[in-house]
Chains A and B, each alone.
Chain A
Amino acid sequence: MGPGSDTAPGKHIPALPEKIILDPEVVHSPMARKVTARLPEAQVMILEPGQNLCHLSDADNSLVIYLKHFRGRFLRPCPATSRYRCCGYQIIHIGENCPLNCSYCILQAYFQDRTVKVWANQHDLMHQLDEAFSKDFRKQFRVGTGEFTDSLALEHLTGYSSDLVEFLNNYSNVCLELKSKIIDLSWMKKALSSQRILPAWSVNSQEIISAEEKGASSLEERLQAAGKCAEQGFRVCLHFDPIIHYPGWEKGYSRTVEMIHDYLQPVNIAYISMGSFRYMPVLKELIEHNHPQSSYIFNEFIMGMDGKSRLLLPLRTEQFRLIAQKLKAGGISKQIYLCMESDLVWKEVLGCTPNDLGGLDKHLLNLSFGRKN
C-alpha cells in the first residue's frame, strides 16, 4: 500500500551470500527462482540425498544461503519458562540463523556456522498456517518471524516477509510482527491494511549498536524507518533487548528514548518491550571467543531461575526503571512490557504484574490489534 515504501531512509543491506545450496525438492520452487535470480554471481549447489550440508559449506565461513525443504512445524509457541513472564507470541518459523553479526546473539550457540537457512517450501508453510488460522476466525493470533532469524535481513533476496504479508491479508484474525535490525520496507507494498502488520525494531543505545551489532542499521536509521511506517499508518513495535549494563548506560539509553520521542508519537507505538541481556552458559564462551572486545559479559551476572545468567536484579531494575520513566515522560506508558521477567521485577519497575493486565499474552494481543485495555 505504501508508495515507494522500500526506499526507506538509510537502507542497509547485509553482505550477500556467495553460495546458494538447495534441497532437490525446492529447486523449482518460486523461492529458489527468486533467490537465484537475485544472486546471479553466487555459486549454486544442490544437496544430494544423504549428503551432509557441512560438506558444501565453505571452510572460510563465508555467508551461505541454504534453501531448505522444511518438514517440521512452521507455527510454534515462543519458548517460555515458569518463573519468568513470556509475552506469549507465536513464531512463524521461516528459517534459521542470521547474516548480521551481533555479539550477544543466541543464534551463535544454536548454529555455529554462517549458513542461513530459509524454508523454501512456502506452499507447505502457508498450508499449515491456513489450517491454524482459519479453524476459527474468532481466535486471534499474534505472530512473528524474528525469533530464529531477523525478519528482514534477507528480504532483499527472498521477499519472504512480503509473501507472508500478502498471504495474511486474508486473515483478519492474525497480526504479524516483523522484527529486524535493518531497514527494508518492501513488504509494505503488499499490505492491504496497515492495522495488522507491526513493523518492529530492536533498539539499543547507539554505543551498543556500534560496538555489538555489527552489520545492522544505526539507531537513527531504524527510527527513521519506524517514523516512515507510522506515516503510512502502521503502528510499530520497539524492543529494548538486550539492555546492556556498561559505563555511561544512563546517558546512552536516555538518548535512545529521546530519539524515540523525536521520531514517533505514543499513538504510533503498539508496544515496547524491555529485556535485559541474559544468556545460556555456552553463549558466554562463544562471545569471549567470537567477540573478544565485548566486555559486558563480565558484568555482575547471577544464575537465574531458568538456568540462564542474568544481570543482578537491582542493577537491571535500575536500568528498566530509567528507561520506563523516560518513555512514560513522553506519553508512552501502557505499551511498555518486560520480556522474560518475574512478577517481582514487574512490580518494582512498572508497578503491576502481568496478571493485573489480564495476562501478558492477552494484554499484548489487545495492543497488537489496537484495542484499548
Chain B
Amino acid sequence: MYNTPQIITVHAESISLDDPCLFWAHSPDNHFISSMEKYGQIEPVLVMAVADQKILVAGYKRVKALKALKRKIMALVLPVADPYLKGQIYLLSNTGQNLDMKKTVLALRYFSSIGRISEEILTNLHLVPGSKLEQLWQSWISIPCSWDTLLAKGNISLECARIMQNLKAEDLEAVYPFFDQLSWSRSSSLNFLTWLGETARMKKAGICRLIHELELAPILQSRLSPGDKIKKIMLVVFQARYPVLSSLKGSLTRKLRQIGAKSGWKVEHLDDYESRELVFSTRVKNIQDLQKALRGLEQISSSKALENWPVK
C-alpha cells in the first residue's frame, strides 16, 4: 500500500495534531526536547495529506518537541486511510511503549468508538482474543469513560467491569464517589459491588437507594483513615447482604475470644457453621511454652465456656 512513500519537510504549524487516532498523545518532557535538540529528528513522523493539510497519525511528541525548538519537521506522507487504519498505524508506531491500564483503555476506547476492535488490534494490545482478560476489557469499555482514570489510578480493579456493565447509570453514579475517593483492593472492590448489587436485587431496590439506606455516604465523608473507611463500609454492606450470618459471626467471634482469652490459644471456627469443629492454635518456642500452652488448654476444657457451643 505504501510503495511510494514521500518524505517532506514542513513547519509544525502546518500539521494538524487533532486526529483522535493519536490516542496516547502526550507532550514531551524537557529531557526529550533536549535530546531532540542534541541529536535532531532521527525518523520521520507519519502524516496523511488531506486537501492542503497534513494530518498527523504518529509522532505527536516529536512534533511538539520540534515545534518548541522552532525546527522544521521531517514527515513521511502516507495515503489517506480510514479511522481504523489510522489507529492501527498509530498503534504499530508505538509498539515499544509499556502497555499499562491507561494506554490499553485509551486504545480500546478509540477502536470501540469507530466500531471495530479486530483480533489484530487485540493482539497488538497483547490481549488474547476470546480470553477472560479480553472479555473483561470489552466489559470495561461498555461503562462510561469517566471511570477510566480511576482504573488507571488503581482505585478499582478491572474485574469489577463484569458487575458494573450490568448496573444502571444512576447506580454507577452512586458508587462512583466511593472509588473516586478511596483506593480499593481487588477483592474488596469486587465484594463491595457484588454485595451491594445482590442486596439491592433481593430488596428489589436500586443501589442508589440502598447506599442511602445504609448511610454509606457519611462514612465516606468521615474523618476515618481511608483504610478504616473501607473496612467500615465493607462491614455495613456485609451486614446488609448477610444479616443472619453477620449476627452469628459477631456473637461467635466474641465468644471464641473469651474462650481463648489468657489461655495463649487462638480459637477459631472455619466452617461457617457447617460443622461444630473448632481449631485451636498456638505457638511454642520451647518445652516451657508447651507446658504453659497445655495448662491453658486444660483451663479451657475444664471451664463451661464450650457447653452451649455454638449453633442453635
Contacts and interface: CB of A to CB of B under 8 A. Distances in A.
Chain A partners chain B: yes
Interface of A: 83, 295, 298-300, 302-305, 310, 312-315, 342, 344
Given A295-B201, A295-B202, A298-B198, A315 B274 contact: no
Nearest to B272: A302
Contacts of A303: 272
B201 A312 contact: no
Contacts of A313: 272-274, 311
Nearest to A84: B274
Interface of B: 198-199, 201-202, 204, 242-245, 248, 271-276, 311-312
Contact of B311 (A298, A300, A314): A314
Given A312-B244, A313-B311, A314-B244, A304 B274 contact: yes
Contacts of A315: 244
B98 to A, nearest CB: 33
Interface centre among A300, A302, A303, A310 (most CB of B within 10 A): A300
Contacts of A83: 274-275
Given A302-B245, A312-B244, A344 B276 contact: yes
A295 B201 CA distance: 7
B202 A302 contact: no
21 contacts: A295-B201, A298-B198, A298-B202, A299-B202, A300-B242, A300-B245, A302-B245, A302-B272, A302-B273, A305-B271, A312-B245, A312-B248, A313-B272, A313-B273, A313-B311, A314-B311, A315-B244, A342-B274, A342-B275, A344-B275, A344-B311
Nearest to B246: A300
B276 A314 contact: no
A299 B204 CA distance: 13
Nearest to A313: B273
Nearest to A348: B311
Nearest to B248: A314
Contacts of B311: 313-314, 344
Contacts of A295: 201-202, 204
Contacts of A310: 274
Given A295-B204, A313-B311, 9 more contacts: A83-B275, A299-B202, A300-B243, A300-B244, A302-B273, A305-B271, A312-B272, A312-B273, A344-B311
Contact of B274 (A298, A300, A305): A305
Nearest to A303: B272
A49 to B, nearest CB: 28
A298 B243 CA distance: 12
A304 B273 CA distance: 9
B245 A298 contact: no
A247 B198 CA distance: 16
A344 to B, nearest CB: 6
Interface centre among A83, A299, A344 (most CB of B within 10 A): A344
Interface centre among B202, B204, B276 (most CB of A within 10 A): B202
A315 B244 CA distance: 8
Contacts of A299: 202
A315 B242 CA distance: 12
Contacts of A305: 271, 274-275
A313 B310 CA distance: 12
B6 to A, nearest CB: 49
A298 B273 contact: no
A314 B247 CA distance: 12
A145 B297 CA distance: 52
B252 to A, nearest CB: 12
Contact of B201 (A298, A302, A304, A342): A298
Contacts of B274: 83, 302, 304-305, 310, 313, 342, 344
A357 to B, nearest CB: 21
A314 B245 CA distance: 9
A353 B201 CA distance: 38
Give me the 8 closest cross-chain CB pairs, A-B, nearest first.
Answer: A302-B272, A298-B198, A313-B273, A298-B202, A300-B242, A300-B245, A305-B274, A295-B201
A269 B311 CA distance: 33
A178 B199 CA distance: 39
A304 to B, nearest CB: 6
Interface centre among B202, B244, B273, B274 (most CB of A within 10 A): B274
A84 B35 CA distance: 71
Nearest to B271: A305
B189 to A, nearest CB: 18
Nearest to B242: A300
Contacts of A314: 244, 248, 273, 311-312
